[in-house]
Amino acid sequence: MRYPLCLSALFVCAAAAQPLPMAGVIVDQVSRTIRPVMADGESASTGRARVREFDAAWPAPDGRTVLVARAGSLHLVRRLDGAIPVWREFREDGAAVGRAAWSEDSTVLALYLPDEKKVEVWNHCPADPRHAFTVDLSTVGERVVSLTVSPDAKVAFLATQGQESGTLWILEKDLQPRMLMPLGKAGEIRYAGGALYIADRARNEVLRYSGWQAMPQVETLVAAGHGLADPVGFALLAEQKKLLVASAGTSQLLVLDLRSNRMEEPVELADPPARLERLGPAPLFELDDARRRAPARLFDAASQRLLALSSAAPGAGE
């Protein structure tokens, strides 16, 4: 009669011993490490560092690939979810990268090279990167704020900021940068699902721009009337058909249901978010800036919970 109870206890112990599933990677600019993040909707923690001592790093949306700048060289580091990461040297001349942006499927990479005043687009990443095109930015006099690129490597977009206003640009092969529209204060831009999403931090708006080649259409998705103030980041939840916006001015995460075009109940935050950075394929987001406090604040969109990120135990694989 005791066997079922013993078996149940074994199952409970085995379940408790199971590690949390990997949700992506986190770039720690303070310790200059890249670590896997494990989360289950109730808690989140980091594993041992997979990359150390970098100058800058830009993780891909797949949660297992990162572009790393270290000691004057660029490297594509992949298989961060495996036992041993695979390193590949990228761009042998070692030009300084001001910004880098991955396509939504992690196969295309756009690089902003400030010293050379140009943007390069590379496709077939990360295994076999090939140069797609380069655009000269010498005619763009404003400061580059954000960059995004399409998965077909045919077009990239740039948001820049001047003293009083900003500009949205389209970048294409063999063409000069073309202005699409003015911005109040340039924020994050992102190409997703065939459309361009734009945050204007001065006008307190998140826009969707489509049809730029023939019939441009600009839609306001979230605005000040919805309670938005200073959108410092946003994310598309394709699996839930929702738009998540970090509102620094109100210390909230605003949620728009894209199917009904209705706002849901906002997520209240104790402090203003600095960004909304997705850590991998799981809908897990970091809210603090690159030099964040400890522990970092995370938001799990699947469980609708705020999580504190705990560090790896001392000596655990270090």
The DSSP string of 73-122 is EEEEEE-TTSSS-EEEEE-TT-PPPSEEEE-TTS--EEEEETTTTEEEEE
Whether the predicted pLDDT of 294 surpasses 80: no
In tens, the pLDDT along 8-44 reads 444 444 444 456 778 999 998 888 999 999 998 888 9
Predicted pLDDT at 28: 85
Span 140-159, average pLDDT:
97
Is 290 exposed, middle or buried (CB count within 10 Å of its CB: 0-12, 13-18, 19+)? middle
- Least confident stretch, 11-20, 33-42, 144-153, 172-181: 11-20
Per-residue confidence band for 79, with pLDDT thresholds at 50, 70 and 90: very high
0.85 exceeded by pTM = yes
Per-residue confidence band for 233, with pLDDT thresholds at 50, 70 and 90: very high
Whether the predicted pLDDT of 6 surpasses 50: no
Span 238-246, average pLDDT:
92
The DSSP string of 219-277 is EEEE-GGGT--SEEEEEEETTTTEEEEEETTTTEEEEEETTTTEE-PPEE-SS--S--E
Q: CB–CB of 240/258 below 8 Å?
A: no
User: CA 41, CA 269: separation in Å to the nearest integer?
Assistant: 17
Share the mean pLDDT of the chain: 89
Highest mean pLDDT (candidates 80-94, 95-109, 281-295): 95-109
- Least confident stretch, 74-83, 115-124, 153-162: 74-83
User: CA 166, CA 305: separation in Å to the nearest integer?
Assistant: 34
In tens, the pLDDT along 250-276 reads 999 999 999 999 999 999 999 999 999
Span 282-307, average pLDDT:
84
User: CA 290, CA 166: separation in Å to the nearest integer?
Assistant: 23
Token pair for residue 306?
């705020």
Predicted pLDDT at 317: 39
* Higher pLDDT pick, 227 / 2: 227
* Higher pLDDT pick, 109 / 30: 109
Predicted pLDDT at 293: 57
Span 204-229, average pLDDT:
95
* Higher pLDDT pick, 242 / 238: 242
In 3-state terms, what secondary structure has residue 201? Answer: coil
Predicted pLDDT at 18: 56
User: CA 243, CA 230: separation in Å to the nearest integer?
Assistant: 16
